[in-house]
Amino acid sequence: MNNLQLGNGIEMILGLVDAPCCHPNTLEALGDDELDTIIVKMHEAKETQLWESADPSRLAGVGQVLYVGFDSEWKECRGDSGQMLNVLSYQFYVVGVGGEMSFVFFPKSGLIDDRLALRVMLSELLWEALKHGVILDYPAHLVLVGFFLRADLAMLADLITFKHQLNNIGGKIATAFKAVDMELGCARQEFNHLDSGRMITCSGKGLDAYQVKLSFYDIAKH
């Protein structure tokens, strides 16, 4: 387990899971030639985007589907305006083609103003998964799974920015018709250093934004 300080009082704990990967397309089952083919196709797709895009700093993810379990913990507290929910932590379990990882994010405090945004946590999560080989590249599609997601998503600081894209299926949250588009940042210089010699060769400083399709599944209905 590793403890990281992300700034603004936010703490993250992450751990690699030492167990056979349960991803349906795990790399463990592939030969060298099959793995080479996957990597070549990803970089060809990225190269095509860089060639065709009017803004090469904004790319669509090209990696395989990533599955992420999500949960949050909170407690009821009495405030000046009555009862309120103070967030204690946000938990994620990541299943990628290269392995599995666990993440726990702790906000600066349990107050509403210090709640964390899903986009920020997923950005950190994907960057660490990339560094540890759990994913080969930013995924084209991320599937977020939880139990009674309505309660956990309500603890997010940025729910209002994407809640209109969610559907109600039998009283549970899902993305029934179209996945949510979410831009996840990655420091360009860091990515270039990690993926040296690959297709991310944009000039300048700042952040690259990767467009990732995000689907929600509430297993309370299964």
179 pLDDT higher than 80:
no
Q: Look at 182 and 27; give whichever has higher pLDDT.
A: 27
Check residue 186 and give its pLDDT: 61
DSSP 177: S
What pLDDT score does 90 carry? 94
Average pLDDT, the chain: 79
What is the rounded distance in angstroms from the CA atom of residue 157 to the CA atom of residue 8?
15
Q: What is the mean pLDDT of residues 20-44?
A: 89
Q: Name the pTM for this structure.
A: 0.80
Confidence of residue 175 (pLDDT cuts 50, 70, 90): low
Confidence of residue 17 (pLDDT cuts 50, 70, 90): very high
At 103-117, the pLDDT tens digits run 999 998 888 888 888
Q: Select from 170, 129, 141, 164 the least CA-distant residue to 60.
A: 141
CB–CB of 101/115 below 8 Å? Answer: no
Q: How confident is the model at residue 66 (pLDDT cuts 50, 70, 90)?
A: very high
* Separation of CA 91 from chain center: 12
Average pLDDT on 37-43 reads 89
Asked whether the predicted pLDDT for residue 205 surpasses 60, the reply is no
Q: Is residue 121's pLDDT more than 70?
A: yes
C-alpha to C-alpha distance for 128 and 209, rounded to whole angstroms:
16
Longest dimension (CA), the chain: 63
Q: Residue 185: what pLDDT?
A: 65
Angstrom CA distances, 78 to 81, 84, 136, stand at 8, 6, 46
d(CA 130, CA 190): 11
What are the strands, taking DSSP E only, across 30-65? 58-60
